[in-house]
A = this chain, B = another copy of it.
């Protein structure tokens, strides 16, 4: 199953057509941001992380090509599809020159557009190099591999972690010895901060404590009303 929906930036000045198209795409499980002109399009582009751009060529203020060039400056990877009313050869060529991935003449069949989007996304999915996110942590004698979702203690048997356990421990590790605010975990992992998610998080804290308790020097402390703190002591001399 796919992680989350792909984000599409749609820049189209015709409000009717734009809205219809947006709805159609949304219906097909894409998360669509609709900008009404090139300026706005570029603003929105900078503010978010999109997986694909669909640009109308003919627009006031800033046409699709100019916008495409600016977008390419910021991101030379992102696929771009142009929409155009007139089927002028020069335009098509120009489009490909700025790195278009595809080109559609209006009116076009929406199903065809959908297939093109799919095809392009698939292409991209292939070469997703793996964004260098931080995946591995040393927590005292523990080692957390949060990509493969397991935790090992002193080289022993890996303990599998559930997605939530994993994300939570990762967040704590990112803030090692420092406050990890409740709110942060709730908004990042549970995507909502309310009574129930908060209780749920407490359940997960309990689970993590269970895993971690084999190491004297690692523990999760609560900071009442604030959040949690993953404490890692240097194991000097403890008992003798």
CA distance A198 to B187 in the complex (A): 30
Whether B148 contacts A119 by the Cβ 8 Å rule is no
Is B111 a contact of A89 with CB atoms below 8 Å?
Answer: yes
One digit per residue, 1 when the CB lies within 8 angstroms of any chain B CB and 0 when it does not, for chain A 182-199 equals 111001100111000010
Interface positions, chain A 1-45, Cβ under 8 Å from B, are 1-3
Which residues of the partner chain B approach A116 to less than 8 Å between Cβ atoms?
Answer: 96
Please report the C-alpha to C-alpha distance between residue A89 and residue B104 in the assembled complex, in whole angstroms: 13
Q: How far is the CA of A148 from the CA of B106 in the complex (A)?
A: 46
CB–CB B122/A191 < 8 A: yes
Contacts of A73 in B (CB 8 A): none
Known contacts A111-B89, A223-B149; A182/B1 CB under 8 A: yes
Contact assessment for B191 and A125 in the assembled complex, using a CB-CB cutoff below 8 Å: no
Number of copies: 2
| 8 Å CB interface, A128-165 against B | 128-129, 147-149, 162-163
Chosen A-B contacts, 29 in total, with CB atoms closer than 8 Å, are A2-B183, A2-B193, A3-B183, A89-B109, A89-B111, A89-B112, A92-B112, A93-B111, A93-B112, A93-B115, A96-B112, A96-B115, A97-B115, A99-B119, A101-B119, A101-B123, A102-B102, A123-B123, A125-B183, A125-B187, A126-B188, A128-B184, A147-B179, A148-B179, A148-B223, A148-B229, A162-B224, A163-B224, A163-B225
